[in-house]
Structure formats: C-alpha cells, structure tokens
Homo-oligomer: A and B are copies of this chain.
C-alpha cells in the first residue's frame, strides 16, 4: 500500500524509517512546510497533490494540531483514502465526526499511536471489547508526569527543580501545562473511554487535578505512610454514563503502579469476565510511536475498515457512585474540609470517603483562595 505522510517531524520521520525496507508499505508522498532533504524527491507543500493522487491508499497524519489536520483527514476520507493518525487532540475533539465519516466512506481510521505512544493499548482494548464488557480503565498515561513523580520519590527534590530537569532532558515542553495539569491524559482517556464504552465524552467536562502543586514534603509524608503518589486517570462504567476523572493518587508502595519508573506508562482495563490486564511501556519516543502508526497501516492492509468500535453515543459523566478518601493540603481554612476530615497527617489532612466529583469541584474552587492546594485520592 502507498502511504502519504502529512508532516515529517519526529514521528513522521520514524514512520519513514520503519517503512524504508518494506515491500508491503511504501511512503510515496510527504507533505512538508519547509524542504526536508531526506525526502526531497517525494515532498510537496500542496495537500491537493496527495488527496487527488489515486495511487495513495493511506494518509498518515503526523503533523499534530487541530487545523488544518481536521480538514486534511476529512478530505482524505471523502476521497476514499484510509487515515491513520497519531493526533490525540484531533481524535478527542472530533470523535463523532471522524468516526462516522470513516464508517460512511467505508475507509479505515486508526489512531493507536495517539494513546500510549508505542504501547499497543487501543488495539488490545478493542480486541477485548469484542468479547467482554469493560468495567474500568486507566492508569499512568503520561510519561512526563510519571518521570517527575518518580524522581520526587527517589530523592527529595522540589517540583520546579525536577520540572526544569525534565525540560532539559526533552521530556517536558517549554510550556509543561498539558503534561502536568492533566490535559494530555484527558485526551487519551476520552479516546480510551469512548472505545471501551461505545461512548462520546466531552473532553472539557472531565474533572482533573494535576501535580503542579505537589511538594517534596507531601512526598515525604506519603512515603512515611507507605504510599506512592502517581497521577492516574480513571474511566469507569456508571449507571447513567461514565465516571471519568484524573487526579494524583496514593497507591500502596508495593502496588504495580508504584513500580513504574521514569517516563513509562502502565495502562489497565478491567473486564467483567477477563479481570485486570495491563500494558506497560514507554508512552512516547520516536520509533515506538511511529511503530504504532505503521502497525495501523498493516492492519488496514490486512483488510480492517472503519474505527475500533462501531458505536459512538454521546454519554453523560456520572460520578454518583465513586467515592474514596483524600489527602488534602491547604493553608486556607474551609468548613467543608473540616467536616470531612477523618485524620491528620504531618503535612495535610485525610478525609473519609468523599464523592470524587464533589472533591474535584471543591478543589477547583479552593484553588482560587489557595493556589498552593494539593489533593490526592487514596486508592
């Protein structure tokens, strides 16, 4: 099959590399904004050269961003071409539009690299869904935040200092907010939950609390109590929809999540009859991420059409039955927190079981009076 790459950055050049010696997949065209010597003979700056080329079977979108990526992939599908993308923002934002267009046109639309980089998470989630119903999914879905939390547990270091180190290593971007506040995870969670529950969730509605305000004293307290703090995502089947949220979570120091080092991910589903299965690997990186793009092309070459799931029904967030204790550190007194306090730790308090959505809403409000507030669910 002939592939046109939209973009020739880190992932795009990785895809080109993986395909170079293959006979079944050929990169025959690359859309670039500026000349790329490695692919000079097949480059174009005009998307029309790609969408009107009948020899191109698959458009692999690895340029990122919402626009013109959205316009390009919809035009490609309307022209009868299969689309593979690594763009989580795009899929999360235009889930209904893109998946229904793929079904309507009878083309393949796959985005395995969009969640977990090179980890074969979405394909295995789709595989288990063919048999079993998913009860719950989530885990460690962002390498940058895990790198930071891992380092803060390994040795006392302030959040700003380790963030700077992550930026110097290229693990965190100059504006790190997407990684440390949860936005990046939220997109991956939306895509995963949509596939798991045949749902369409609104990304912006999912409550989240990041790791921006965690301190080395918080971590020292957690360690002394036998806990490890990780930024975890959760999406669970609920009576009236899906309960989805992202929050720092204290897991037992001997839990599998606690042992996830550096910028690795550990993503888990629990099936009604399958029980728990988890997938571990680096959630980013050029060749692994590009590999999932190429694997999607091979899947389409094997005859797969449409998206991972055939249904996409708008679904509400329902947090009614999700409750657990929380660690809360705030310098601004609050009556609701006082009423819910069950225990006092060195650096903060521990609540009784509190409804998750209630706590995340409270935390959002409390941040306006105490910008240094930190909370963590206790698993």
Check A241 for interface membership: any CB of B closer than 8 A: no
Least Cβ–Cβ distance between A138 and chain B, in angstroms: 14
CB interface residues, A 340-374, toward B, < 8 Å: none
Check A155 for interface membership: any CB of B closer than 8 A: no
> A124: which of B124, B260, B266, B275 is its contact (CB, 8 Å)?
B124
Assess whether B259 is in contact with A288, with CB atoms less than 8 Å apart: no
Q: How many residues from A make CB contacts under 8 Å with B?
A: 39
Check A80 for interface membership: any CB of B closer than 8 A: no
Question: Bound complex: CA of A258 vs CA of B275, how far in Å?
Answer: 21
Assess whether B282 is in contact with A279, with CB atoms less than 8 Å apart: no
Check A119 for interface membership: any CB of B closer than 8 A: yes
CB interface residues, A 298-347, toward B, < 8 Å: 298, 302-303
Check A34 for interface membership: any CB of B closer than 8 A: no
Q: Is the interface of A mostly helix, strand, loop or mixed?
A: mixed
Question: Bound complex: CA of A330 vs CA of B295, how far in Å?
Answer: 50
> A281: which of B273, B275, B282 is its contact (CB, 8 Å)?
B275
Assess whether B278 is in contact with A282, with CB atoms less than 8 Å apart: no
From A63-71, A96-104, A127-135, the one touching the partner chain is A127-135
Assess whether A277 is in contact with B287, with CB atoms less than 8 Å apart: no
For A132, what are the chain B residues with a Cβ–Cβ distance below 8 Å?
291
Assess whether B274 is in contact with A256, with CB atoms less than 8 Å apart: no
Assess whether A277 is in contact with B273, with CB atoms less than 8 Å apart: no
For A261, what are the chain B residues with a Cβ–Cβ distance below 8 Å?
254, 256
> A280: which of B120, B274, B278 is its contact (CB, 8 Å)?
B278
Assess whether A281 is in contact with B276, with CB atoms less than 8 Å apart: yes
> A119: which of B130, B268, B277 is its contact (CB, 8 Å)?
B277
Q: Which residue of B lies closest to A272 (CB)?
A: B287
Question: Bound complex: CA of A128 vs CA of B268, how far in Å?
Answer: 20
For A291, what are the chain B residues with a Cβ–Cβ distance below 8 Å?
128, 131-132, 273-274
Assess whether B131 is in contact with A127, with CB atoms less than 8 Å apart: no
For A118, what are the chain B residues with a Cβ–Cβ distance below 8 Å?
274-275, 277
Question: Bound complex: CA of A294 vs CA of B130, how far in Å?
Answer: 10
Least Cβ–Cβ distance between A369 and chain B, in angstroms: 38
CB interface residues, A 63-96, toward B, < 8 Å: none
Check A176 for interface membership: any CB of B closer than 8 A: no
Least Cβ–Cβ distance between A58 and chain B, in angstroms: 16
Q: Which residue of B lies closest to A120 (CB)?
A: B124
Check A285 for interface membership: any CB of B closer than 8 A: yes
Assess whether B288 is in contact with A275, with CB atoms less than 8 Å apart: yes
Query: Which residues of A are at the interface with B, using a C-beta cutoff of 8 A?
Result: 18, 118-120, 123-124, 127-128, 130-132, 254-256, 258-261, 266, 268, 273-282, 285, 287-288, 291, 294-295, 298, 302-303
Q: Which 10 A-B pairs have the closest CB atoms?
A: A277-B281, A278-B280, A259-B259, A273-B287, A256-B259, A274-B288, A131-B291, A120-B124, A275-B282, A118-B274
Listed by A's residue number, 11 A-B pairs whose Cβ atoms lie within 8 Å are: A124-B124, A130-B295, A130-B298, A131-B294, A132-B291, A254-B261, A273-B287, A274-B291, A277-B281, A279-B279, A280-B280
Starting from the known contacts A120-B124, A120-B128, A256-B261, 19 additional A-B residue pairs (CB-CB under 8 Å) come to A18-B273, A118-B277, A119-B277, A123-B127, A127-B295, A128-B291, A131-B295, A254-B259, A255-B259, A256-B256, A256-B259, A256-B280, A266-B280, A273-B288, A275-B288, A276-B281, A278-B279, A302-B303, A303-B303
